[in-house]
A = this chain, B = another copy of it.
Amino acid sequence: MSGAYGANLLSSRVPDWLSRQRHSEQLAIAFENETWSYKKLYERVGRLAGFFAAHGVQKGDRVALLARHGLVFAASVHSFIQLEAVLVPLNTRLAAEELAWQIQDAGIRLLVYDDEHRSLAMRALAICRTNGVALLSPIELDGVHWDEQVEPIYHDAIELSAIQCMIYTSGTTGRPKAARISYGNHLFGALGSALRLGVQANDRWLTPLPLFHVGGQSVLLRSVIYGTAALIQAKFDPLQVNSAIYNKGATLVSVVPAMLFRMLAEQEMPYPSTLRNVLLGGGPAPRTLLETCLAKGVPVSQSYGLTEANSQVATLSLNESLRKLGSSGQALAFTEICIMGKDGPLPPYQEGEIALRGPTIFAGYDHNPVANEQAFRDGWFYTGDIGYVDDEEYLYVLDRRADLILSGGENVYPAEVEAVLLAHQDILEAGVSGMSDEHFGQVPFAAIKVKPGSVVDPAEVQAFCRERLAGYKVPRKIVIVDELPRNASGKLLRRELSKWL
């Protein structure tokens, strides 16, 4: 039955995505007041690739990028693709020691940085030198590397099994691990997302998420695969995000709950109909937030994703947002979800570990056989997250396993307790974690941020929780704080809550 003629399956080499768009005058990318068409992006990416090559970047090299968000960052991402180098985007919030550790761990051959991060880059490289690790001379980006005198460099095809980047996962426990993301991961992630969210010629996908994480970077790659526009921002600012929705035709927006809360707080008028979907990732969304969006007519889709799946795994369709409120939706077209118990797959409604399979799943952690053997079993990737599916295969994510509070033999999911706290009229943000307890092993405690102008009494909040939660889930202790610990993506870092104990 198999064909002797024709290429039935996708060849592992496909024509370069950016090259396919190179004649197009359509908007490719916008930052602040600058806009580039695909034609312009293609030309500049080629010249930037020529510039990097002249400074020693070769095919297969691992190159670290430590730079502010902007067009140069985005063009660099595409240039390394043309050079077939492996990008390791560095989190600009890390300390020099942490950066040096990643640079060494990833086997970086060359560091690219910008003036804003010169001092940080130099300190990190000094630590590497002290440790006897030598790199090529670092490259400082100054924003003008598309000199007409540089010979542009383009590759002609993409090898789908090749690694486009390695991204260190925020990792709730232990040392960060480098997740290897392939071109195939990007392609099938983009296609699966397109089938769930739809894709339109006029799409402009806005991401205030960091470009050094999968959530932001995948928007850059997807836009090129689709031939649509990416709107990027220096950092999250609710006014700027709202402005891009009101004035710049953003059709899709990727955010996490904490961002969406602030956008809604600053909203001056209903969002225009050009905004067709707010993709809400970064952990289980508080129900109050989803309900507020429904009431305000904000088209929000709860989404579940993680670095190891190159972002999106499942997303709730807009037309299901009422019927399946609280669900992260069904798996995207090229991803399979299985809820695993101790003895294998579990039936609907039973809680277990979320396992994933398919061409969107990453190519494993770099040089970390122990982590890979723990994470991959029988072709399934075990996420460490806890959830269940209903009888229509809609996923409900309960929590990150690492955050699970085990209290007197009962499981307490911080997200559930946080959702109750957020329903309190005076609480703006909440984080819940476990604290040691002689009797129960662990008990939950909460850190809360109070709404401006409000005053709360911890005892009253506990009473509020007691009315809504089983006794063992009520925070034993409530601390009022100015700011909750979050990573650069805005994801709550629950393990850091213990500093207030």
Q: Are B3 and A160 in contact (CB-based, < 8 A)?
A: no
- CB of A165 closer than 8 Å to a CB of B: no
Give the distance in Å from the alpha carbon of A106 to the alpha carbon of B364 in the complex: 46
Which residue from B23, B163, B334, B336 sits with its C-beta under 8 Å from A392? Answer: B23
Give the distance in Å from the alpha carbon of A105 to the alpha carbon of B441 in the complex: 75
Which residue from B4, B182, B201 sits with its C-beta under 8 Å from A318? Answer: B201
CB nearest to A184 among chain B residues: B8
Q: Are A201 and B319 in contact (CB-based, < 8 A)?
A: yes
Q: Are B184 and A393 in contact (CB-based, < 8 A)?
A: no
Residues of B within 8 A of A372 (CB): 4-5
State how many angstroms separate the Cβ of A34 from the closest Cβ of chain B. Answer: 22
- CB of A78 closer than 8 Å to a CB of B: no
Taken residue by residue from 330 to 360, chain A's Cβ proximity to chain B (1 for < 8 Å, 0 otherwise) reads as 1001101000000000000000000001110
- CB of A459 closer than 8 Å to a CB of B: no
Residues of B within 8 A of A330 (CB): 20
- CB of A1 closer than 8 Å to a CB of B: yes
Which residue from B10, B375, B393 sits with its C-beta under 8 Å from A9? Answer: B10
Give the distance in Å from the alpha carbon of A7 to the alpha carbon of B226 in the complex: 23
- CB of A95 closer than 8 Å to a CB of B: no
Q: Among A41-49, A188-196, A404-412, A426-434, which stretch is in contact with chain B?
A: A188-196
Q: Are B194 and A362 in contact (CB-based, < 8 A)?
A: no
- CB of A242 closer than 8 Å to a CB of B: no
Q: Are B194 and A199 in contact (CB-based, < 8 A)?
A: yes
- CB of A273 closer than 8 Å to a CB of B: no
Which residue from B4, B160, B180, B188 sits with its C-beta under 8 Å from A364? Answer: B4
CB nearest to A317 among chain B residues: B201
Q: Are B198 and A11 in contact (CB-based, < 8 A)?
A: no
Q: Are B1 and A163 in contact (CB-based, < 8 A)?
A: yes
- CB of A15 closer than 8 Å to a CB of B: yes
CB nearest to A320 among chain B residues: B24
Give the distance in Å from the alpha carbon of A4 to the alpha carbon of B225 in the complex: 26
- CB of A288 closer than 8 Å to a CB of B: no
CB nearest to A5 among chain B residues: B364
State how many angstroms separate the Cβ of A25 from the closest Cβ of chain B. Answer: 9
Residues of B within 8 A of A247 (CB): none
Query: Could you show 23 A-B contacts with beta carbons less than 8 Å apart?
Result: A1-B86, A1-B162, A4-B372, A5-B364, A5-B375, A5-B376, A6-B362, A6-B376, A7-B358, A8-B182, A8-B184, A9-B10, A9-B161, A10-B10, A11-B358, A14-B334, A20-B330, A20-B333, A195-B225, A198-B199, A199-B199, A200-B200, A201-B319
